[in-house]
Amino acid sequence: MLLLLTRPRYDTPTHYLFYWAGLLIEEAKKRGVKVIDLDREKAVKKKLHSYLAKQPIDTVILNGHGSQEAVAGEDNEVILSAGNGTKLLKNKIIFVRACDAGMILGKEIMENGARGFIDYIQPFIFPVDKDFFKKPLEDELAAPILSCSNQVGISLIKGKTAAEAQKDSLDKYAEAIDKYSSSEATSSFLLPILLWNMTSQVCYQ
């Protein structure tokens, strides 16, 4: 398997996603999966399209900001959009961790022959504790949401289908919701956020 990830890092949300996607890279390397890491200034359209066109990539994970029709990379540069680059994803499985791109972009990607696509049809949201900005993996506000989201990538790295990865992630969300529903949970305010992201996450296969 050959995995490609984009990891822009230029604001608070992408800073967090940069590190959480880093865990996926560690998981991939443990399993002998080859990784192309387009991090920071490498997370740009020219590099992404070049790799997709020239390398036998199986799985693509894009992290960043998004809209219904596009996904951005470093400094909010659009790197993939409806009508521009979607044909390069033929026969690949794609996980886009960005707002809204499941609405239009994901459907076009599937129409162009992708094997599977997972993303969100509404904004993907997570809270952060500003005191943990330098240690985002230790932020207990962000962790429940981002670990559920990361499960998609972990399952794909294990060789599962998009549908199987979607199920694994939704099961993890359900476990988190059950945990924070208990009367003893001090972070019950996370419940609506977990539920929002869970119901916004879509899979096309």
Give the model's confidence band at 184: pLDDT under 50 very low, under 70 low, under 90 confident, else very high.
low
- Predicted structure pTM score: 0.96
Q: Are 202 and 119 in contact (CB under 8 A)?
A: yes
In whole angstroms, give the CA distance from residue 138 to residue 33. Answer: 26
Number of separate domains in the chain:
1
Residues 6+ apart with CB under 8 A from 185: 179
**Mean pLDDT calculated for residue range 123-127:** 97
Copy the structure tokens of residue 197: 């992201």
In whole angstroms, give the CA distance from residue 25 to residue 147. Answer: 14
Q: Are 74 and 43 in contact (CB under 8 A)?
A: yes
Residue 40 has pLDDT above 80, yes or no: yes
Q: Reading across the β-sheet that carries 34-39, which strands appear in turn?
A: 34-39, 2-7, 59-63, 93-97, 116-120, 201-204
Structural domain boundaries, residue 148 = 2-204
The pLDDT of residue 6 is 98
pLDDT, tens digit (0-9, with 9 covering 90-100), for 190-202: 999 999 999 999 9
Copy the structure tokens of residue 177: 């919701």
What single-letter DSSP state applies at residue 142?
T
Give the model's confidence band at 12: pLDDT under 50 very low, under 70 low, under 90 confident, else very high.
very high
122: domain CATH number is 3.40.50.1460
The pLDDT of residue 182 is 78
**Which runs of E-coded beta strand occur in the chain?**
2-7, 34-39, 59-63, 70-72, 78-81, 93-97, 116-120, 201-204
pLDDT, tens digit (0-9, with 9 covering 90-100), for 148-172: 999 999 999 999 999 999 999 999 9
Q: What percent of the chain has pLDDT over 70?
A: 98
Give the model's confidence band at 180: pLDDT under 50 very low, under 70 low, under 90 confident, else very high.
confident
